[in-house]
């Protein structure tokens, strides 16, 4: 009889998976053209411009963890999911690199974005290299083309979501051409959900899971992604800057059309909200109006719906117990335990 142990926390799960994946990710990146490998390493926080080693903050590694846990949930060793983990982390880095160019974001994780540090052209090429490497990594291990179908479908959804996101910025805030909350949900599913769903599904597929399990995990990951984006939207308006690391009300200052904003704009209680958005000095007033018009409550309710759906999908699928617990811990961590 073993002693009772507390289940591992989400940060323990994330850190275990990062350690498992890191050597393979480093090896894949090292196979790139040296110039592109440096940009990739900079993007992952492993080096400074010029190549000197660094330990800058990388991402949390949610996607790689989902891939490892997907393989474990299928009853396989987590190492079986590592190529899937490498592929999805490469795709994630590719999308950050290119999105920062498109969005004109000069800073990423408190350092200059790759296009700022190395130039736009080189950053485009480094993104392309990561994209190609992701496909190559998976093509090298997948025994059937289904895995590449999952990855390429997620890539297509990711690009479609980014296209919608770019176009939303130029749509009006009011009138028949305004962005609807349903359109926003579809965008978030493409831009955030598709790759999370792909990560856990790919891991499960490499782990030998039956197709129904792969599909259920893919759906659960997508629901998690939508919920995560909605919670991120709420934090982007009402979050504590000390916790989020972003300025208070930053999304309102920039006039971003996030879910709470779109719900409020569609409500008769919107009042002068359209005029306040994008005006930094009126951000507090805008936040109060959005809350009064039900934007915050609707976003949290919608996030709760998707989180519950993800939990139900996990509960209704036969999964190896420790990995199922780790997946739930990760879900709680990403969307908040209270949802």
Residue 120, interface with its own copies (CB under 8 A)?
yes
Residue 82, interface with its own copies (CB under 8 A)?
no
Residue 122, interface with its own copies (CB under 8 A)?
yes
Query: If you write DSSP's letter for every residue of 215-261 in order, what string do you get?
Result: HHHHHHHHHHHHHHHHHHHHHHHH--HHHHSS-TTHHHHTT---HHH
* Per-residue tokens: 124: 């485009």
Going by C-beta distance under 8 Å and a sequence separation of 6 or more, which residues neighbour residue 282? 276
Q: Which is nearer to its own copies, 54 or 132 (CB)?
A: 132
Stretch that binds its own copies, among 53-61, 64-72, 130-138, 217-225 (CB under 8 A): 130-138
Q: Identify the CA nearest to 73 among candidates 315, 309, 318.
A: 318
Q: Which is nearer to its own copies, 144 or 281 (CB)?
A: 144
CA separation for the pair 189, 178 (Å, rounded):
19
Residue 106, interface with its own copies (CB under 8 A)?
no
Q: CB of residue 104 vs its own copies: minimum separation in angstroms?
A: 8
| Sites for its own copies among residues 290-309 (CB under 8 A) | none
Element (H, E) at 332: helix 321-335
CA angle centred on 81, ends 224 and 2, rounded to 5°: 85
Exposure on the CB side of residue 103, measured as CA atoms within 13 A: 21
Residue selected from 98, 173, 185, 222 as contacting its own copies according to rule CB under 8 A: 98
Residue 101, interface with its own copies (CB under 8 A)?
yes
- Residue 47's SS3 state is strand
Residue 136, interface with its own copies (CB under 8 A)?
yes
Count of residues that interact with its own copies, criterion CB under 8 A: 44
From residue 102, how far is each of 42, 44, 95 by CA, in Å?
19, 19, 10
Stretch that binds its own copies, among 157-165, 176-184, 229-237, 326-334 (CB under 8 A): 157-165
Stretch that binds its own copies, among 53-61, 150-158, 208-216, 272-280 (CB under 8 A): 150-158
| Sites for its own copies among residues 211-250 (CB under 8 A) | none
Dihedral angle at the C-alpha atoms of 200, 202, 208, 209, nearest 10 degrees? 50
Q: Which is nearer to its own copies, 195 or 290 (CB)?
A: 195
| Sites for its own copies among residues 4-63 (CB under 8 A) | 32-33, 35-36
Q: What share of the chain is helix, strand, coil (3-state, %, to 5)?
A: 70, 0, 25
Neighbours of 42 (CB within 10 A): 23
Residue selected from 145, 210, 280, 322 as contacting its own copies according to rule CB under 8 A: 145
Residue 266, interface with its own copies (CB under 8 A)?
no
Residue 129, interface with its own copies (CB under 8 A)?
yes
Q: Are 75 and 17 in contact (CB under 8 A)?
A: no
Residue 179, interface with its own copies (CB under 8 A)?
no
Residue selected from 7, 149, 210, 280 as contacting its own copies according to rule CB under 8 A: 149
* Residues at the interface with its own copies (CB under 8 A): 32-33, 35-36, 98, 101-104, 120-122, 124-125, 127-129, 131-133, 135-136, 139-140, 142-145, 147-149, 151-153, 155-156, 158-160, 162-164, 166-167
């Amino acid at each position: 009889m073993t002693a009772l142990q507390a289940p591992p926390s989400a940060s323990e799960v994330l850190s275990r998976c990062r350690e498992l994946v890191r050597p393979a990710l480093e090896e894949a990146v090292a196979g790139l053209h040296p110039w592109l490998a440096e940009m990739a390493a900079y993007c992952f926080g492993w080096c400074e411009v010029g190549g000197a080693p660094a330990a800058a903050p990388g991402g949390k590694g949610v996607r790689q963890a989902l891939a490892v846990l997907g393989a474990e949930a299928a009853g396989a060793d987590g190492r079986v999911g590592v190529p899937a983990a490498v592929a999805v982390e490469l795709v994630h880095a590719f999308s950050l690199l290119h999105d920062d160019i498109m969005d004109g974001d000069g800073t990423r994780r408190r350092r200059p974005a790759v296009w700022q540090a190395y130039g736009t052209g080189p950053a485009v090429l480094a993104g392309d290299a990561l994209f190609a490497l992701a496909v190559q990594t998976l093509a090298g291990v997948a025994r059937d083309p289904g895995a590449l179908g999952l990855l390429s479908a997620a890539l297509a959804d990711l690009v479609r979501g980014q296209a919608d996101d770019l176009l939303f910025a130029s749509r009006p805030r009011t009138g028949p051409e305004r962005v609807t909350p349903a359109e926003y949900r579809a965008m978030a599913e493409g831009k955030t959900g598709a790759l999370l769903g792909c990560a856990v599904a790919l891991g499960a597929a490499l782990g030998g899971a039956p197709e129904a399990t792969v599909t259920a995990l893919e759906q659960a990951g997508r629901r998690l992604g939508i919920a995560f984006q909605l919670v991120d939207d709420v934090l982007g308006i009402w979050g504590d800057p000390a916790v989020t690391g972003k300025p208070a009300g930053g999304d309102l200052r920039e006039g971003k059309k996030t879910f709470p904003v779109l719900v409020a704009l569609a409500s008769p209680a919107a009042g002068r909200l359209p005029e306040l958005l994008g005006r930094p000095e009126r951000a507090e007033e805008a936040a109060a109006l959005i809350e009064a018009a039900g934007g915050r409550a609707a976003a949290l309710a919608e996030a709760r719906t998707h989180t519950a759906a993800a939990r139900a999908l996990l509960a209704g699928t036969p999964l190896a117990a420790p990995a199922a617990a780790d997946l739930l811990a990760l879900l709680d961590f990403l969307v908040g335990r209270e949802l």
